[in-house]
Amino acid sequence: EETIHCVRQLCEDPDRRELGLDTLSELALYREACRTSALSILLEFSTCEEDETRKIAVKRIADSLFQIRAMSSSISLHAEERVNQAVEKSKERALQARKAKEEEKNKSADGDDDDDDDDDEAMKMKLEEEKKREEAAAAALKLYDSALDLIFALCTKRVDLVEFLHTSFAQATLELRKRFHLRVPELVRKLGVDSDELLTFIKDRPIPEGGVDLMYHIIHELAQIAITPKLVQAVASLHKRTKETQ
């Protein structure tokens, strides 16, 4: 435990975090006695909001640990849980936005009949509220990014997880869906247009209602690389199943 604590401190130091994360990865791989603790901390950093630390942790997990049967289940479960949390956060924010809009509408209606309304004070309050909304939006985007990087990296190693992406995308709000779309080009580039698993997914797997746009984006990015006979066949099969013309 003392060793793990020291390694965690390395990870939290910007100048030594790569050494710390590499050490955690090595401990998870080769020291069974501390594998659970090392993996738990590495997973924590893989979905943290510090971009560079998260990037390194995600790479170590996806490239080295995810292929190990003893750890793959824990890794995918953690990634899925974080995405589910992001989906719930996006729904919460959408609900808050609707309530705020309704309150603003009611305030405007009340203000029409108030001759003593202080315009300067009202403007000050409006600016403060706008600043709070901007800060909350920035915080939400950081949370979304911290949740999505790991699952997208895992999808490049296990294509069946793309189905989970579509299910999550279907439940997410527009704000979160945009963060999914930002990651599609890199996902497709890493899998490649010749990925039989991805083409089989397009051809055969059911798409949840609301998840179609993500599938269209994946197909578009594949076509940008090359329109192969296998891709045409997969898209034709998808069209036959869904009757979608887009």
pLDDT band (50, 70, 90) for residue 246? low
Contact 179, 141 (CB under 8 A): yes
Contact 31, 42 (CB under 8 A): no
The answer, yes or no, to whether residue 113 has pLDDT greater than 70, is no
Neighbours of 17 (CB within 10 A): 18
pLDDT of residue 172: 96
- Distance of alpha carbon 181 from the chain centroid: 10
pLDDT band (50, 70, 90) for residue 227? very high
pLDDT of residue 140: 94
The answer, yes or no, to whether residue 114 has pLDDT greater than 60, is no
pLDDT tens per residue, range 125-138? 777 888 888 888 99
The answer, yes or no, to whether residue 162 has pLDDT greater than 80, is yes
pLDDT of residue 118: 62
How many CA atoms lie within 13 Å of 157's alpha carbon, on the beta-carbon side? 19
pLDDT tens per residue, range 57-79? 999 999 999 999 999 999 999 99
pLDDT band (50, 70, 90) for residue 244? low
pLDDT of residue 208: 84
Percent of the chain scoring above 90 in pLDDT: 72
User: How does DSSP classify residue 23?
Assistant: H
pLDDT of residue 242: 76
pLDDT of residue 143: 95
DSSP codes joined into one string, 104-162: HHHHHHHHTT-TT--HHHHHHHHHHHHHHHHHHHHHHHHHHHHHHHHHHHHHTT-GGGH
Supply the mean pLDDT for the chain. 90
Most confident of 129-138, 155-164, 202-211: 155-164
Residue 244 φ then ψ, to 5°: -85, 135
Q: What share of the chain is helix, strand, coil (3-state, %, to 5)?
A: 80, 0, 20
Contact 140, 93 (CB under 8 A): yes
Give the mean pLDDT of 139-159: 96
Per-residue three-class SS string for 44-104 = HHHCCCCHHHHHHHHHHHHHHHCCCHHHHHHHHHHHHHHHHHHHHHHHHHHHHHHHHHHHH
